[in-house]
Structure 1
Amino acid sequence: MASILFRRQYYVIFGVVAVLFLLFHNVDRDRLSWPDVALPTGNPLPLPRIQHQFPVESDAERNERAIKQRSVKDAFVRCWTSYRSRAWMSDELTPISAQTRNHFGGWGATLVDSLDTLWIMGMKDEFDHAVAALSNISFDTTTVKSVNIFETNIRFLGGFLAAFDLSGDDRLLEKAVEVGNMLYAAFDTPNRMPLTRWNMRAAAHRKPQIADPAVLLAELGTFSLEFTRLSIVTGDPKWFDASQRIIDALQEQQQHTLLPGMWPMVVDAKNMVFDKLHDFTLGSMSDSLYEYLPKTYALLGGLVPKYRDMYEAAMDAAIRHTMFRPMVPDNADILVSGLVTAKQEDGKTVYRRRSEGQHLACYTGGMLAMGGKLFNNQTHLEKGEKLTNGCIWTYKAMPTGIMPETFFMLPCQSTTHCMWDEARWIDAVMDRAEVPPEEATPEKSAALISHKRLPKGFTAIPDTNYHLRPEAIESVFILYRITGRSNLLDSAWDMFRAIDTNTRTELANSALSDVTVTEERPPMTDIMESFWLGETLKYFYLIFSEPSLISLDEYVFNTEAHPFKRLLPA
């Protein structure tokens, strides 16, 4: 009881600090008055178990897993040591030139993004050193003209909250509140829709704040996990209220879009019009909104049913329209998540799917698998497996063993029967390259395929980059924790070795500009985003950990792989 009373006093102090922060930034206190939407009350529901009941492993299995886990940790330690010695308190280290990058406000993005990874990997001394350094991060000043509210929310607020949930260190909660108040100021607009690119200096000088008429769906809708968790741990509902207003508006228009159930990739936050444009996807520009629907439901212990309703409606539409089975040489039964354009023609809505795959869209396998378990939906679990298998297949198909940023494949004519047809594939390659049929000779086709370095099954690879992204291993990890499939451990290890081998520099690991090269190491871009340490290596480490470490039945990950404690039944 004493600790509870202390924490309440602690939050009262933070409430005073919050008011001072808002006054300092001249936020309109009348518009941002006491919230209308209160946190849900009641005992959380006993939701279905997500994690597989893993059998006791043998000594040989444990030793093999520990060796692989150690290799992942060694990669992290190497990168962290280089960051600490050469770019400490900067956002990022450039892994080749040993310079610094500060495009996330200069607030130590890699430090904050890595806090929970340090804790999870048992690096408590490094964790303590990093937490002690947090007092040097001031969110009152910034190195950028406008703050990316989305990135600040998922990396900084998410990073502080997860590290607090794991460690209980109140210094981390203090920083979470500081960031949360800064983000809250971006909601100081006439309709309470946030500025996704927020000019801190303009706000301090009382320049009018109006939400933008064209914003990315993901950047508008990715607040519910972080804001809800911050409201839960502080007892202040204002953040939950702010995120809930967005969710309520999205739900109101969900069934009125050109693809009912989904929202277009770009929406109008200024006029709160979310149902007019034509392009729909679970991938880039939309992704984390959809991801947060089942996750926020789980975070809140099922106390807000609308998150389930919105998720199920969105996935019904996505499964029907965005996903396709690609024709591949081994006839694998896999799925890829693509894009859809909806147009009105002769009074009817016509849907045209674009058979483009994205590394960013690989999160969908884990999302659907988790949704399948949460909501007892076997179809979602099966689709999640096939989507994850599709990403694994794409990794293996590349000469470097690494999936490119974007690619095109030939959709099967049937999802139940799809035999490889090399002639059809070649025709699709030439069609994608806009070569007239009369010019598509066998010699020209072979030369084009060789020049473009297209593995069989791919019709084009417009973006050959690899940005050290985590989405594929994220879904492999989640699917492994759900199904216990041992071959997923083999796939994860193959992915890790391919990535580490091809991206390793003298200091750390670098993003690549071309994963299709066959006779040399892929060229590097001298960039190591904070999510390499905050997400990618964390997921690789966790898949080779004891399944009880960050159990999916106790935690839910935000889109930056920061685990938040779920509300559980008493």
Structure 2
Amino acid sequence: MITSRKGRSLTTSVFLLFVAYLFLVWLPLHRLYGHHRPTPIQGAGHAQNSIHLNNSTERYPVTSYFPLPTSPGPLPRIQYDFPAETKRERKARLKKQETIKRAFLHAWNGYKNHAWMRDEVSPSSGRYQDSFSGWGATLVDSLDALVIMGLDDELEVALDALEQVDFTTTPSSSVNVFEIIIRYMGGMIAAHDLTNGKHPILLKKAVELGEMIYNAFDTHNRMPQMRWEWSRSAQNLEIIPSDITNLAELGSLTVEFTRLSQLTGDPKYFDAVQRITNELEKSQTKTRLPGLWPNVIDADRLSFDGPEYSLGGCADSAYEYLPKEHILLGGQTDQYRSMYEKSIEAIKKHMLFRPMLKDEHQKILFTSNLVVNRGGRIHHKRYVQEHLKCFLGGTVGIAAKIFKRSEDMSVARQLTDGCIWAYDTMPTGIMPESMEVVACKGKTHCPFDQNEWYEGVLGQSVNSASAKQQVEKLIDHESLPAGVTVVRDSTYKLRPEALESIFIMYRITGDKSLQNAAWRMFQRIDKATRTKFGHSSIDDVRDIEPKLSDKMESFWLAETLKYLYLIFSEPDHISLDEYVLSTEAHPFKRPTKY
């Protein structure tokens, strides 16, 4: 009896341990890594439009294409020659990388289970949004991230769904050409490149989308209608380029369309964007601020006479793509080098400034926003830093290597460090969308002047006790860090730009302090934004427990978490000497021959 009781006791213990394993280990991992086939989420407006754009007749056909350069040459090395890491370093790095991967899967599974084949999941409520034509933006934008993170089973699930996407129609009345190209086309081309063409559906669907979007270029001057009235094209009606077109949107199509021409041999895509580049080149020295283009241009009349200049959301990726297109073309033309060098010299002369910090020895750089009159005089300058501007450090770093501009490397690092500072200085440890700061009067000596800061916050002289009391109350109420005069937009939208520059500068310099900064940022972002079904944008980075906005754009998976994952990857995983990363962080293979 005693033996029997001992046997039952052992059996019971083993059984209980097995049950505990199921609930504590296997089930959580199964939920995280499970590869079930999700059901597409249906809803109002999801049914396909009765109009399809298949074989429309071009009103303004191209009679002669600009030829795609087909003999790429060697380019200077970008990446640092990393030494071998120790076992301890590798273990610590892989642990952080796995944590980031789990965050990705948490958000991916939230999308997969609650918004499959829709554009976005609402991460708090579990609802969905269709922000980008309803073709499954998060699904397609994340394809290459699945490859990069080794999630092959999830990729197979996504590719099965991609077969069902019909790019010839959409419930949307207009198509945002820029967003569709960078998210959808970029995601498919990158996944194709990363898998060496293993999945034919990727290039097939990229061409299907390309054929549709190409119709947006069928205008009298071959400039695309960026908010494309696609149903007019389907009915063979004329479309006209907008007289209010953002520079970033018009100037940021080159990398995707060039790569599509490289892969298909069809020159029309490269031709389409080369025509835009030629117009930008022609106008570059004739704007109100030679070397730079205004934020808004008239694409219908090809007028570049706008007064506002910035490197923020209306302009950013047009400058980013100058060195990247040069790389993708294998340096076969000096056009993009020349355009970049004109722009960076103008940026350094007119826009770069050093903010006034309490730590005078901490050297960081931001860029200002300018309003320029027709005579070329800058009559208004705002010392504003936007999260979208944080791409610039990485762009300048890449260009410094590719174009052998070693003098610009310190600029690239200080721009990157500026964004790290902007994160660290906020109560949540997260940078706001936009804030204004006090600029240093000198470039070398810049002691912190509290009275100057107070005057910047109040917008007037602080020469009395009551004025001082008023500004101190305002600083406390607005939670303004020292040197910051106003937080114009306190939201955080899960943006990737700061991490993008950290990734690039880490791969260029090998400086592990950049990895440390990235990890610090990830932990704070994850803590502030994690929800039941993913991660959400937040309303105010100054609140320790910020309100969630129930918004998770596809770039959270496609860019932000991808950059974080790559920061803690082996340096040869998506090497900058083998790939060009698009403005949506999609890696395109740098061609060696055709």
Is TM > 0.5 for Structure 1 vs Structure 2? yes
Question: Taking structure 1 as reference, are residues 438 and 270 closer, same or farther at Cα in structure 2, changes over 3 Å only?
Answer: farther
Given the alignment, which residue of 219, 241, 253 partners 1:189?
Answer: 219
Equivalent position amino acid for 1:317 in 2: A
Structure 2: distance between partners of 1:405 and 1:104: 22
Alignment pair present for 1:314 and 2:340: no
Given the alignment, which residue of 241, 246, 252 partners 1:216?
Answer: 246
The residue aligned with 2:560 is 536
Equivalent position amino acid for 1:453 in 2: S
> 1:380: Cα distance to partner?
2.0
Question: Taking structure 1 as reference, are residues 248 and 517 closer, same or farther at Cα in structure 2, changes over 3 Å only?
Answer: same
Structure 2: distance between partners of 1:447 and 1:39: 61
For 1:390-539, what aligned pairs fall within 5 Å after superposition?
390-431=418-459, 441-518=467-544, 521-539=545-563
Question: Taking structure 1 as reference, are residues 140 and 379 closer, same or farther at Cα in structure 2, changes over 3 Å only?
Answer: same
> 1:206: Cα distance to partner?
2.2
Question: Taking structure 1 as reference, are residues 511 and 290 closer, same or farther at Cα in structure 2, changes over 3 Å only?
Answer: same
Question: Taking structure 1 as reference, are residues 53 and 273 closer, same or farther at Cα in structure 2, changes over 3 Å only?
Answer: same
Structure 2: distance between partners of 1:509 and 1:24: 37
> 1:394: Cα distance to partner?
0.7
Structure 1 gaps of 5+ residues are 1-20
Equivalent position amino acid for 2:274 in 1: Q
Runs of 4+ aligned structure 1 residues displaced above 4 Å come to 434-440
Question: Taking structure 1 as reference, are residues 348 and 287 closer, same or farther at Cα in structure 2, changes over 3 Å only?
Answer: closer
Given that 2:53 and 2:169 are in contact with CA atoms closer than 8 Å, whether structure 1 keeps it comes out as no
> 1:203: Cα distance to partner?
1.5
- Secondary structure in structure 1 of the residue aligned to 2:475: helix
For 1:124-135, what aligned pairs fall within 5 Å after superposition?
124-135=152-163
Structure 1: distance between partners of 2:462 and 2:471: 11
> 1:73: Cα distance to partner?
0.1
Given the alignment, which residue of 144, 166, 172 partners 2:194?
Answer: 166
Given that 1:473 and 1:539 are in contact with CA atoms closer than 8 Å, whether structure 2 keeps it comes out as yes
The residue aligned with 1:282 is 311
> 1:381: Cα distance to partner?
1.4
The residue aligned with 1:328 is 357
> 1:166: Cα distance to partner?
0.7
Given the alignment, which residue of 123, 127, 139 partners 1:95?
Answer: 123
- Secondary structure in structure 2 of the residue aligned to 1:192: coil
TM norm structure 1: 0.93
Structure 2: distance between partners of 1:440 and 1:191: 60
Deviations for 1:398-440, whole angstroms, at most 9, x for unmatched residues?
Answer: 0100000000000000111111122211121111xx6886686
The residue aligned with 1:6 is none
| Aligned-pair Cα RMSD in Å | 1.6
- Secondary structure in structure 2 of the residue aligned to 1:515: coil
Aligned pairs, number: 541
Question: Taking structure 1 as reference, are residues 209 and 413 closer, same or farther at Cα in structure 2, changes over 3 Å only?
Answer: same
Deviations for 1:421-467, whole angstroms, at most 9, x for unmatched residues?
Answer: 22211121111xx6886686221111010111101110100100000
Structure 2: distance between partners of 1:145 and 1:393: 42
Structure 2 gaps of 5+ residues are 1-50
Structure 2: distance between partners of 1:437 and 1:91: 54
Alignment pair present for 1:342 and 2:396: no
> 1:177: Cα distance to partner?
0.3
> 1:35: Cα distance to partner?
4.1
Given the alignment, which residue of 386, 394, 398 partners 1:370?
Answer: 398
> 1:34: Cα distance to partner?
4.7
- Secondary structure in structure 2 of the residue aligned to 1:194: coil
TM norm structure 2: 0.89
> 1:569: Cα distance to partner?
6.7
Deviations for 1:512-557, whole angstroms, at most 9, x for unmatched residues?
Answer: 0100114xx1111000000000000000000000000000000011
Equivalent position amino acid for 1:263 in 2: W
The residue aligned with 1:545 is 569
Given that 2:80 and 2:510 are in contact with CA atoms closer than 8 Å, whether structure 1 keeps it comes out as yes
Equivalent position amino acid for 1:494 in 2: R
Equivalent position amino acid for 2:230 in 1: M
> 1:310: Cα distance to partner?
0.4
Structure 2: distance between partners of 1:350 and 1:110: 41
Equivalent position amino acid for 2:481 in 1: P
> 1:146: Cα distance to partner?
0.5
> 1:342: Cα distance to partner?
1.2
Given that 2:168 and 2:209 are in contact with CA atoms closer than 8 Å, whether structure 1 keeps it comes out as no
Equivalent position amino acid for 2:561 in 1: L
Larger radius of gyration: 2
Over the matched positions of the two proteins, sequence identity in percent amounts to 47
The residue aligned with 1:261 is 291
Given that 1:97 and 1:526 are in contact with CA atoms closer than 8 Å, whether structure 2 keeps it comes out as yes
For 1:43-58, what aligned pairs fall within 5 Å after superposition?
44-58=72-86
